[in-house]
């Protein structure tokens, strides 16, 4: 199920990485058309937009609370990396806002998100919205998703990627979710200034 989306993620990231400006210190995703304005609802039921996070680095991850495997694994790694930064480099950690954007607005209510994101990291912000708003933000972030029927309901197939966005809202890199939390910490320390 998710292997197709992993393959799509790799192809998409390779394609957008080719848009970079070159040079050893240029961010891998410099110039990529990833990101953009959005208007969603957070886990407290409060309306938020992308401009609420202006001036902060953002980790942007798409998933859903009923995800049986990939999302909890990735969010556990991201949470562990951020907890490490909280201890080792608190000034760096405070510059980062982690965002979890649901691709399953049908089930992922603000209350459901609040319970879910609290399992991974205290400052992780869960976002949801109307299906049209989710489709718009997913498209802006080059994230594919689709409902996959199962005998007991459905799962959501989706692109597996965690983008690091700069304070200006532009993409910097994707975090190495296939590696352990220290590799994620190293990537964050490299790019967050």
Of residues 24 and 122, which shows the higher confidence score? Answer: 122
pLDDT of residue 13: 45
Can you say how many angstroms the Cα of residue 48 is from the centroid of all Cα atoms in its chain? 16
Round to whole Å and give the CA distance between 108 and 110.
7
* Tens-place pLDDT, residues 70-88: 999 999 999 999 999 999 9
Strand-strand pairing, 125-128 and 96-102:
parallel
- Classify domain 34-150+173-191 by CATH number: 3.40.30.10
Measured between alpha carbons, how far is 92 from 37 in angstroms, rounded to an integer?
Answer: 25
What is the rounded average pLDDT for all residues in the chain?
91
What is the model's pLDDT at position 25?
84
- pLDDT at position 24 is 57
């Amino acid at each position: 199920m998710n292997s197709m989306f992993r393959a799509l993620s790799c192809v998409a990231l390779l394609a957008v990485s080719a848009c970079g400006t070159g040079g050893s210190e240029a961010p891998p995703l410099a110039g990529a058309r990833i990101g953009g304005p959005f208007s969603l609802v957070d886990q407290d039921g409060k309306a938020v937009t992308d401009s609420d996070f202006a001036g902060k680095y953002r980790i942007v991850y798409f998933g859903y609370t009923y995800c049986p495997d990939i999302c909890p694994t990735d969010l556990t790694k991201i949470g562990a990396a951020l907890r490490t930064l909280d201890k080792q480099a608190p000034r760096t950690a405070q510059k980062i806002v982690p965002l979890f954007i649901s691709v399953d607005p049908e089930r992922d209510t603000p209350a459901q998100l609040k319970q879910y994101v609290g399992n991974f990291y205290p400052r992780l912000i869960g976002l949801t919205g109307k299906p049209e708003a989710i489709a718009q933000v997913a498209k802006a972030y080059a994230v594919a998703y689709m409902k996959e029927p199962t005998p007991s309901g459905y799962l959501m197939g989706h692109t597996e990627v965690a983008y690091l966005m700069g304070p200006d809202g532009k993409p910097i890199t994707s975090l190495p979710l296939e590696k352990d939390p220290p590799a994620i910490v190293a990537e964050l320390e490299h790019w967050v200034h």
